[in-house]
């Protein structure tokens, strides 16, 4: 195994450039004659637009144009991309509201698009927003899914009076109902999973340019899937894809949010075409809270049926999801694409899920790290703890009694997933040992002496990653033997460049310093889907492996010709034959390949190969999280004390990057459970619209996080890898919640709110003490 081989903890090749300020983000793009755009956004959650007067703004210094719905309607562009394919409960097609660049006559959330100002400078554009006069007729708004489906609720779109977009049913209802009816115990609980934001380091941004001479558009923007993005945007612009270039440079985080085609991109392209100049728009942080897509926000009731010995018989889940006022492709996917995670790692034979997507007067919802997996894991792992508490079972042993054994694979769950591999009980046993579960009660007693309420929580998580799809990769050697790698995947900080260089450089015996990596430019990348759903290691890696196989096959023919042998071997980056003492490195073969005189007539000059990997089966990363924490009895403040993880992500490509991914996912799960909360007032005004109001976790909110691997390679892809990018978030949310409840269980607490802020926990503690004192007095 070489220095850069898969499995080695190779530091990221991207980092020196990024930490020295060499990143190339969307806002770094500057073009000759570039103008700047700013968006006027609705200050009402629901209102009719009676009139827009832009005359004062157009007369302001530096202002070049003010675009409204009339300009959009005259452009000939179509609606922005919309989802399809789901149905309502009565079988009718889902309701998907049209999504033009500007709403025609109604705004439907605080932050909705009203006008776009383009000026010579960003500050002139921002100032001109205040000069646009808009007359509104304010209308009633509905902000939650549960309120939106009530009789007489305000209607979000007149064509859809029940506010329901679609319903998704999955599983065996008859078997589930029957099993629950005969169960010795049925535990029922309702969980609210709150609304959060991605809050990426780099805000959304774009630079649009229309070249009249070539009748071609270029957009530099923040995204996850460049070629897919081009296809969807071209349909909106009603042009061939070849007339559109999409470029993604470095992306400062996305987590699913930036994968949508947002209005600003289409609007700035329209403005550039009208002005014949480049147009840049960069979101402010406050604007990001108003206009970025939010996530989660669902209300779920779960019922778990058990026999008298604690064996799971059935699980019934009913969920309402707040979709916001409009949908983008993917907005609906959290409801159904990972519902299978509800089965967990358990043998529950009958499961049924009923999910309803509801429209409200709030902003877009999109996939967010985990895309339905953390929510589903939260439900199954919390209801197991609820059952253990109510029925007197040990939490670990209840899980052990129902866990899928190693010899049961492939295992078809009671819902939709078919697990191909795993060692779930071993994960749990390894993590229990790491966390010293048996010694916890002594630590709890010691913490109690210091006024701390200590709790411990466990979660066994599993998810579907690398859903079926395709990805492209290309390897190009130049005439001096250096190399360029090109991938359809788009990194937002995961380290794609590093792992792809590891994969190829070790095999070819090439120094990574001689390798250039390209991504995200649709004029350069020939084919692919992009990044999302923890797919890149399996599918992008599979494509890179196929391309490297093609390179080796061609290089072997060239080496055999040059060495004048009829048999050739390739090992450790060197071509050799037992018939000669000569050999050639891959670099030497690449140099020889550039000279047609070195080649037989049936081999084309040059050494390069492209491949598209067609991935047909998902993989199922899984693991166990155990978190130990303290709640300060006097303040409600939470301190994480120990955090241990055992993860099975199949073959580990780079343990250093893997730990980083797990740590990052845990941070997002912990953040949501303890502090992050996107809240509105009764009028739909966002109360958490800055980092002064929206609490983000800091380094000092965490303890050391210990991560160990229990790799069980999967046969679903040629590398044997399972997705790792979202695993930390999936396991963290329920583990922290279970630890919080455990810390408060002696007070009679059965559940905690999300997020469990110090104020909320202090109120719970104070109320419980008050009730206890009242009982004692009686």
Residues 83 and 332: beta-carbon distance below 8 Å = yes
268: closest CA among 65, 544, 88? 65
User: Any idea how long the chain is?
Assistant: 778
327-368 residue pLDDT tens:
998 887 777 778 899 999 999 999 999 999 999 999 999 999
Residue partners of 284: CB distance under 8 A and separation at least 6: 203
CA dihedral 194, 199, 200, 205 (to 10 degrees): 120
Question: Using alpha carbons only, what angle is made at residue 412 by residues 407 and 414, rounded to the nearest 5 degrees?
Answer: 120
- Full-model pTM: 0.96
Helix ranges (DSSP H) in 564-707: 586-593, 655-674
b vs e for 4-23, b when ≥16 Cβ sit within 10 Å of the residue's Cβ? bebebebebbbeeeeeeeee
Helix then strand then coil, % of the chain, to nearest 5:
35, 25, 40
Burial class (CB in 10 A: 0-12, 13-18, 19+), 764: buried
Q: How many Å apart are CA 610 and CA 543, to the nearest integer?
A: 8
Torsion of CA 644, 712, 379, 403, to 10 degrees: -100
Distances (CA, A) of 391 to 109, 185, 271, 310, 743: 45, 8, 64, 9, 18
Count CA atoms closer than 13 A to 177's CA, side-chain side. 4
Q: Where are the beta strands (DSSP E) in 75-131?
A: 106-107, 113-119
Residues of the chain with pLDDT under 70: 1, 778
| Best CATH choice for the domain 426-453+622-778 from the list 3.90.1150.10, 3.40.50.970, 3.40.1190.20, 3.30.365.10 | 3.30.365.10
What are the beta bridge partners of residue 205? 282
| Cα dihedral: 237, 238, 240, 246 (round 10) | 10
Q: Which residues pair with 664 in a beta bridge?
A: none
Buried-exposed string 51-88: b where 16+ CB fall within 10 A, e elsewhere: ebebeebeebebbbbbbbbebbeebebbebbbbeebeb
Closest CA to 719 of 522, 504, 456, 533: 504
Helices then strands, counting H and E runs in the chain, come out as 20, 28
Report angle CA 390, 756, 301 to the nearest 5 degrees: 45
What distance in Å separates the CA atoms of residue 392 and residue 693, rounded to the nearest whole number? 40
Residue ranges of the chain that CATH labels 3.30.365.10: 426-453+622-778, 469-615
pLDDT value at residue 1: 45
In DSSP terms, 612 is beta-bridged to 472
CA neighbor of 691 nearest in space, from 42, 322, 257, 200: 200
Beta-carbon contacts of residue 212 (< 8 Å; ≥ 6 apart) = 273, 276
- Sheet with 47-53, strands from edge to edge, namely 106-107, 47-53, 133-138
CA distance 522 to 245: 6
Cis peptide before 755 (omega within 30 of 0): yes
Q: Which two tokens stand for residue 337?
A: 């694409």
User: What would the DSSP string read from start to end of 607-637?
Assistant: -EEEEEEEE-S-B--EEEEEEEEEEETTT--
Judged on CB neighbours under 10 Å (0-12, 13-18, 19+), 588 is middle
Contact criterion met (CB below 8 Å) for 709 and 652:
yes
What's the chain's Rg over C-alpha atoms? 28
Element (H, E) at 303: strand 294-306
Q: What whole-number distance in Å separates Cα of residue 136 and Cα of residue 445?
A: 61
Whether the CB-CB separation of 727 and 621 falls below 8 Å is answered with yes
pLDDT at 412 (0 to 100): 97
Q: Read off the DSSP letter of residue 387.
A: H
Q: What is the pLDDT of residue 337?
A: 72
CATH of region 469-615, choose from 3.40.640.10, 3.30.70.980, 3.20.20.10, 3.30.365.10 = 3.30.365.10
């Amino acid at each position: 195994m070489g220095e850069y081989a898969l499995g080695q903890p190779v530091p990221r090749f991207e980092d020196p450039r990024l930490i020295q300020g060499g990143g190339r983000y969307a806002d770094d793009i500057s073009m000759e004659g570039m103008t700047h755009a700013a968006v006027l956004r609705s200050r009402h959650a629901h209102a009719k637009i009676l009139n827009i007067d832009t005359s004062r703004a157009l007369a302001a210094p530096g202002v070049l144009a003010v675009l409204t719905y009339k300009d959009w309607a005259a452009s000939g562009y179509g609606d922005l991309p919309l989802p399809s394919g789901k149905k309502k409960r009565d079988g009718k097609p889902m309701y998907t509201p049209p999504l033009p660049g500007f709403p025609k006559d109604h705004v439907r959330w605080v932050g909705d698009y009203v006008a776009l100002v383009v000026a010579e400078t960003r500050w002139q554009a921002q100032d001109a927003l205040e000069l646009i006069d808009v007359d509104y007729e304010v209308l009633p708004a509905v902000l939650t899914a549960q309120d939106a489906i009530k009789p007489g609720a305000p209607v979000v779109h007149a064509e859809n009076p029940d506010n329901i977009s679609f319903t998704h049913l999955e599983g065996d209802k008859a078997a589930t109902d029957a099993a629950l009816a005969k169960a010795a115990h049925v535990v029922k609980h309702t969980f609210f999973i709150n609304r959060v934001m991605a809050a990426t380091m780099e805000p959304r941004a774009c630079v649009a340019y229309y070249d009249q001479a070539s009748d071609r558009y270029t957009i530099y923007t923040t995204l996850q899937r460049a070629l897919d993005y081009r296809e969807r945007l071209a349909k909106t612009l009603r042009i061939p894809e070849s007339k559109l270039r999409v470029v993604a440079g470095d992306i400062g985080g996305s987590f699913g949010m930036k994968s949508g085609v947002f209005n600003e991109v289409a609007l700035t392209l329209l403005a550039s075409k009208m002005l014949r100049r480049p147009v840049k728009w960069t979101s402010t942080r406050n604007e990001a809270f108003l206009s970025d897509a939010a996530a989660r926000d669902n209300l779920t009731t779960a019922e778990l049926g058990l026999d008298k010995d604690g064996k799971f018989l059935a699980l019934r889940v009913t969920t309402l999801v707040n979709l916001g006022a409009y949908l983008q492709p993917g907005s609906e996917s959290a409801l159904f694409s990972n519902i299978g995670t509800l089965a967990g790692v358990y043998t529950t034979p009958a499961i049924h899920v009923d999910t309803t997507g509801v429209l409200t007067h709030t902003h877009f919802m999109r996939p967010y790290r985990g895309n339905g997996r953390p929510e589903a894991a939260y439900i199954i792992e919390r209801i197991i703890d609820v059952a253990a508490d109510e029925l007197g079972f040990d939490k670990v042993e209840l899980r052990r009694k129902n866990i899928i054994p190693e010899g049961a694979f492939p295992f078809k769950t009671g819902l939709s997933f078919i697990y191909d591999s795993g060692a779930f009980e071993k994960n749990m046993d390894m993590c229990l040992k790491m966390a010293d579960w048996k010694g916890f009660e002594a630590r709890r007693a010691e913490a109690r002496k210091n006024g701390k309420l200590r709790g411990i929580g466990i979660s066994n998580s599993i998810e579907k990653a690398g859903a079926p799809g395709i990805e492209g990769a290309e390897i190009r050697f130049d005439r001096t033997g250096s190399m360029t790698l090109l991938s359809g995947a788009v990194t937002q900080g995961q380290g794609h460049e590093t792992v792809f260089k590891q994969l190829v450089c070790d095999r070819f015996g090439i120094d990574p310093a001689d390798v250039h990596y390209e991504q995200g430019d649709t004029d350069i990348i020939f084919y692919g889907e992009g990044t999302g759903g923890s797919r890149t290691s399996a599918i992008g890696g599979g494509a890179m492996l196929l391309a490297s196989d093609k390179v080796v096959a061609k290089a072997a023919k060239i080496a055999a010709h040059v060495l004048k042998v009829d048999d050739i071997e390739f090992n450790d980056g060197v071509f050799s034959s037992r018939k000669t003492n000569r050999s050639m490195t891959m670099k030497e073969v690449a140099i020889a390949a550039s000279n047609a005189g070195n080649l037989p007539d049936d081999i084309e000059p040059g050494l390069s190969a492209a491949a598209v990997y067609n991935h047909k089966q998902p993989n199922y990363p899984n693991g166990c999280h155990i978190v130990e924490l303290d709640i300060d009895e006097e303040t409600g403040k939470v301190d994480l004390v120990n955090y241990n993880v055992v993860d099975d992500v199949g073959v580990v490509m780079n343990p250093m990057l893997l730990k980083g991914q797990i740590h990052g996912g845990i941070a997002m799960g912990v953040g949501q459970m303890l502090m992050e909360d996107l809240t509105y007032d009764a009028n739909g005004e966002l109360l958490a619209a800055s980092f002064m109001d929206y609490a983000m976790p800091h380094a000092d909110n965490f303890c050391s996080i210990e991560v160990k691997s229990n790799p069980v390679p999967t046969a679903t892809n040629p590398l044997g890898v399972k997705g790792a990018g979202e695993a930390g978030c999936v396991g963290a949310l329920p583990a922290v919640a279970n630890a919080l409840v455990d810390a408060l269980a002696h007070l009679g607490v059965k559940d905690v709110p999300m997020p469990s802020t110090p104020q909320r926990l202090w109120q719970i503690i104070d109320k419980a003490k008050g009730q206890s004192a009242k009982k004692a007095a009686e």
